[in-house]
Amino acid sequence: MAKEKVAAPANKGGKQKKKKWGTSKVKDKLNNVTTIDQKLYDRIIKDGPTMNMITIATFTERFKVSGAISRRAMKELLSKDLIERVGEYNSSNPIYHGLQVKVKKDEDEGKKKKGKKGKKQE
């Protein structure tokens, strides 16, 4: 009788589903360009300096190029003084910012100042 009481609760739960191990989502492979043509080069020269923060990852994501191409393009922009380095402390992953970003901000501030009228002081 004692054996039946012990076995009964184990059978009440019903049959469990088999556990699945290792089910993960497969990431799509990126098809980044490994060579650049003149059209892409012109786009990099035009749009690169307008980026606020430029790293290898942001460059590859925006222009869909490989890491080696993005490093070479960043060196090209740096040699033409279109971008500048932010800090000298990190040599392996340099961080840059575009110089044309400041120009746009200064122009916006100038428009705001012209648009506002001064209040009379009493």
The string of DSSP letters for 87-112 reads -SS-SSS--EEESHHHHHHHHHHHHH
Residue 67 lies inside a defined structural domain of this protein: yes
Residue 78 tokens read as: 């740096």
Residue 9: the pLDDT is: 58
Which domain range does residue 94 map to?
31-103
Residue 121 lies inside a defined structural domain of this protein: no
Instruction: Flag whether the pTM goes above 0.85.
Output: no
**CA separation (Å) from 19 to 13, 15, 24, 107?**
16, 12, 14, 61
- Read off the CATH number of the domain in which 56 is found: 1.10.10.10
Residue 95 lies inside a defined structural domain of this protein: yes
Residue 108 lies inside a defined structural domain of this protein: no
Residue 55 lies inside a defined structural domain of this protein: yes
Residue 61: the pLDDT is: 92
Residue 64: the pLDDT is: 93
Query: Per residue in 50-71, pLDDT tens?
Result: 999 899 999 999 999 999 999 9
Regions of the chain with pLDDT less than 50: 122
Residue 19 lies inside a defined structural domain of this protein: no
Residue 74 lies inside a defined structural domain of this protein: yes
Residue 116 lies inside a defined structural domain of this protein: no
How many domains in the chain?
1
Residue 118: the pLDDT is: 56
Residue 96: the pLDDT is: 85
